[in-house]
Amino acid sequence: MKTPVDFLIFTGRANDIENLSLHPGDKTYGNVFQPLISTTTRTLGAYKVAYHCRLQGFSVQVVDYSKFLSTEQFYNIIDKFVGPNTLAVGTSTTWLYQPLSPRKTLNMVGQYGFEAAQWLPVENFEIETEITKHIKSISPDCKVIVGGAIVNEDSLKNPNIDIVASGYGEVTVPDILMSIKNKSKIKQYYEDPHSLHEISTSTMTWCPEDLITKTEGMPLEIARGCIFQCSFCSFRLLGKEPGSYVRGKDLIREELIRNYDNYGTTRYWISDDTFNDDNERLEQFAEVVKSLPFEISLSAFIRLDLVMLKKQAQLLKDCGLVFAHCGIETLNSESAKDIGKGLNPMKLMDWLREIKQDVWKDVFVHSNFILGLPSDSKDTLRENLRFLKSDDNPLDSFVVSPLYLPKQGTKSSNEESKFTNDPESFGMKIIPWSDDYLKFVAEGNTFQNYINKHGVVSEEMFRVRQRFASTMAQHKNGYKFVFHGQFRAWGLDGCDLHPDKILQLVKDKKFTWLDRNKIEKKNFDNYVERLMSIEKHTSFVQSQLVDADNLKKVSIARELV
Ligand code: B12
Ligand code: SF4
């Protein structure tokens, strides 16, 4: 059944695996190392844009899991949702970062990517061009829009892309649709880096065509931005005023209740850059959680040093935290100072070991680590990796990655990091790549090679990570070397086995990535089937007004048809 919409958006999932291969011989990175990763959470951006377009009267379909769609499925989806009056089709670039094939790379880790890449994650540019022509043969005035957190203006070099909307989209995207509809003049590049959309009064309603399942974890936004400004981190809303860009608590409570009533949702991924930068906000949220007639559990980005310094361990548990995704980044105290996280990391580890025996015994803790920071030497790196592998490491899971040092001036809505702005002041000297493969990847993704003051070379860090990964694959603690804290907390969506049972099976080598992929494939097939069975789309006939001063509703007049 054809159900054309005004706007069709393709998006990806958080932490989705590389592919859904069921071939035992497939040795791609994700398959070898990540049996404990699952795609249990969808991401917010495309749905938030869809909601704001729906509020303006447009019908919108978001297509999830788009990285896994075959070319045939892309055509089927387009034939169902694109009609002669469709105004735009688009992609949310943020979650489509993985290098699926040389041309399938939309965005790369932490980079500004998307330069001259594709708007659709299909096998090659020719297929994308054919699909784009097909769309325009159905709706000649339909525009191709790409948007996302830090998508780059140079994406317009791809002739299949008509418009780039970089940064936040609640205000710009409905405006663009309105202009297309009214045939008024449209620009090719839009950006909203600081969020024109007012966060304190921000609402979010998920609609039936978003195809939420009862068991999945859902994204939830409580605040935007971060009060800190770590030297490697790049985003425009860093260093914000404490307490700013925070949503009203009544609106958050309402959203939690609506999701529970409509979909039975009890699991949330807090999409905030740093969930625990402010105790007052946590206290308010804990109050909301306490007042709910059901229990919720949360995963969130947490600064572990703040948990210790601001005594937040119990407070975070009261908020429902079951999975703390931390960025300790380094165990070398000099490098910790370089990035702006001054607390001695080994003291933090000792303290974590204690609370993991006590108040946080049911909270799974993951951390990322960066290789090749300004004060890293070969000795400190060796010692850090030894510790991470050892039984002394109190983390449930961890990942190590080289420092990606983006070039300046990448024409995106993103703010450049302190490292990118002035590498020399951190003792990093830019040098050419010697490895052809890395040079190729780096050029497409605008990061550069450097040598630090102790002679550590960025390029070598890629090899160190690779060697460490191989060692971990054989090591008794090797199961920790993946992003699996969320899996431990929530299990694998679509699988009835308890996470502890799965973990034991993984350790006994009786549950592999093949078993995981079978479950993921079932979830994906089920999703596509429901997508292709959609019969109608939501329109909001009336919207909710929110009093910005006291953040209470002044009228609830929202109705779905
Ligand atoms: C929460 C989060 C996560 C969580 C997600 C949990 C979940 N279920 O959602 C986890 C930990 C899983 C995660 C993982 C990763 N993340 Co992350 N993450 C974030 C974070 C902090 C918030 C994202 C968010 O939801 N924001 C709130 C929503 C409302 O904003 P938004 O997504 O940007 O959407 C807006 C706009 O982008 C735009 N928009 C979105 N879609 C569309 C579509 C169209 C057509 C248009 C026009 C506009 C538009 O409008 C939206 C509303 O304003 C951002 C940083 C940031 N502040 O954005 C990084 C960020 C998205 N992550 C990033 C990265 C690199 C990663 C990882 C690769 C890290 C890693 N090494 O593994 C993985 C990638 C996973 C994947 N599958 O690709 C980068 C992405 C860079 C890029 N691709 O452009 C970011 C931007 C951080 C950064 N500055 O580098 N992440
Ligand atoms: S790394 Fe985390 S704490 Fe540091 S500025 Fe970025 S979001 Fe904030």
Q: Express each pLDDT in 352-362 by its tens digit.
A: 999 999 999 99
Number of residues written out for the chain: 561
146 vs 370: CA distance, rounded Å: 30
Question: In the prediction, which pLDDT does 107 show?
Answer: 43
Q: Position 87: which residue type?
A: L
pLDDT, one tens digit per residue, over 478-500 is 888 887 777 888 888 888 999 88
Q: In what order do the strands lie in the sheet with 267-270?
A: 218-220, 267-270, 297-302, 321-329, 364-371, 397-402
Q: Of residues 502 and 426, which shows the higher confidence score?
A: 426
Residues with CB under 6 A from ligand 2: 226, 228-230, 233, 238, 273-274, 303, 327
Of 137-151, 200-214, 401-415, 536-550, the range with the lowest mean pLDDT is 536-550
- Closest ligand (CA of 485): 1
Largest distance between two CA atoms of the chain: 64
Phi, psi dihedrals of residue 399, rounded to the nearest 5°: -135, 140
pLDDT above 70 for 293: yes
Q: Are 396 and 364 in contact (CB under 8 A)?
A: yes
User: In the structure, what pLDDT confidence band is assigned to residue 561 with cuts at 50, 70 and 90?
Assistant: very low
Q: Quick one: the chain helix, strand, coil %, rounded to 5?
A: 35, 15, 45
Phi, psi dihedrals of residue 446, rounded to the nearest 5°: 60, 30
Give residue 531's Cα distance to chain centre: 22
Tokens (6 digits) for 30: 């994700």
| DSSP at 85 | T
pLDDT above 80 for 193: yes
Question: In the prediction, which pLDDT does 559 show?
Answer: 42
> What does the pLDDT average to over 430-438?
85
| DSSP at 83 | -
Question: In the prediction, which pLDDT does 116 show?
Answer: 43
Q: Of residues 150 and 2, which shows the higher confidence score?
A: 2
User: In the structure, what pLDDT confidence band is assigned to residue 16 with cuts at 50, 70 and 90?
Assistant: low
pLDDT, one tens digit per residue, over 320-377 is 999 999 999 999 999 999 999 889 999 999 999 999 999 999 999 999 999 999 999 9
pLDDT above 90 for 513: no
Question: In the prediction, which pLDDT does 36 show?
Answer: 75
pLDDT above 60 for 99: no
Q: Of residues 517 and 133, which shows the higher confidence score?
A: 133
pLDDT above 60 for 8: yes
The pick from 227, 234, 244, 273 for probing ligand 2's pocket by mutation, whose C-beta has the most ligand atoms within 8 angstroms, reads 273
Ligand 1 mean position, distance from CA 467 (Å): 29
User: In the structure, what pLDDT confidence band is assigned to residue 549 with cuts at 50, 70 and 90?
Assistant: low
* 453-389-507 Cα angle (round to 5): 150
Of 113-117, 178-182, 204-208, 381-385, the range with the lowest mean pLDDT is 113-117
- Closest ligand (CA of 99): 1
| DSSP at 150 | T
User: In the structure, what pLDDT confidence band is assigned to residue 543 with cuts at 50, 70 and 90?
Assistant: low
* 337-364-492 Cα angle (round to 5): 130
pLDDT above 80 for 552: no
- Atom from ligand 1 closest to the CA of residue 108: 83
Q: Are 502 and 489 in contact (CB under 8 A)?
A: no
Dihedral (CA of 390, 393, 398, 401) sign: negative
Question: In the prediction, which pLDDT does 557 show?
Answer: 38
Question: In the prediction, which pLDDT does 123 show?
Answer: 77
Can you count the helices (H) and strands (E) in the chain? 18, 16
Question: In the prediction, which pLDDT does 97 show?
Answer: 63
Which of 221, 223, 225 is closest to 194 using CA atoms? Answer: 225
Ligand 2 mean position, distance from CA 274 (Å): 7
| HSE toward the beta carbon, residue 98, CA cutoff 13 A | 17
Tokens (6 digits) for 244: 């700013």
* Ligand 1, atom 34: closest residue by C-alpha: 45
- Closest ligand (CA of 49): 1
Q: To the nearest whole number, what is the mean pLDDT of the chain? A: 88
pLDDT above 80 for 98: no
Q: Of residues 264 and 482, which shows the higher confidence score?
A: 264
Domain 199-511 CATH assignment equals 3.80.30.20: yes
Question: In the prediction, which pLDDT does 153 show?
Answer: 83
Question: In the prediction, which pLDDT does 446 show?
Answer: 73
* Ligand 2, atom 3: closest residue by C-alpha: 228
* Ligand 1, atom 46: closest residue by C-alpha: 147
Place of tokens 């002394």: 392
Q: Are 428 and 249 in contact (CB under 8 A)?
A: no
* 299-303-309 Cα angle (round to 5): 125
Ligand 2 mean position, distance from CA 339 (Å): 10
Domain spans, the chain: 7-197+522-547, 199-511
Q: Are 112 and 153 in contact (CB under 8 A)?
A: no
Of 300-314, 464-478, 546-560, the range with the lowest mean pLDDT is 546-560
* CA trace torsion 480, 482, 488, 494 (10° rounding): -140
Q: Would you call 58 helix, strand, or coil by DSSP? A: coil
Tokens (6 digits) for 303: 């600064």
Ligand 2 mean position, distance from CA 403 (Å): 15
Which residues are paired to 268 by β-bridges?
A: 218, 298
Neighbours of 339 (CB within 10 A): 24
% of the chain beyond a pLDDT of 90 = 61
Ligand 2 mean position, distance from CA 560 (Å): 38
- Atom from ligand 1 closest to the CA of residue 368: 71
Q: How far, in Å, are 234, 402, 414, 418 from residue 424 at the CA level?
A: 17, 18, 21, 11
pTM over cut 0.85: yes
Tokens (6 digits) for 294: 């059901």
Ligand 2 mean position, distance from CA 419 (Å): 14
Place of tokens 């380094």: 330
* Ligand 1, atom 91: closest residue by C-alpha: 14
Question: In the prediction, which pLDDT does 526 show?
Answer: 96
Q: Of residues 290 and 32, which shows the higher confidence score?
A: 290
Of 63-77, 106-120, 232-246, 330-344, the range with the lowest mean pLDDT is 106-120
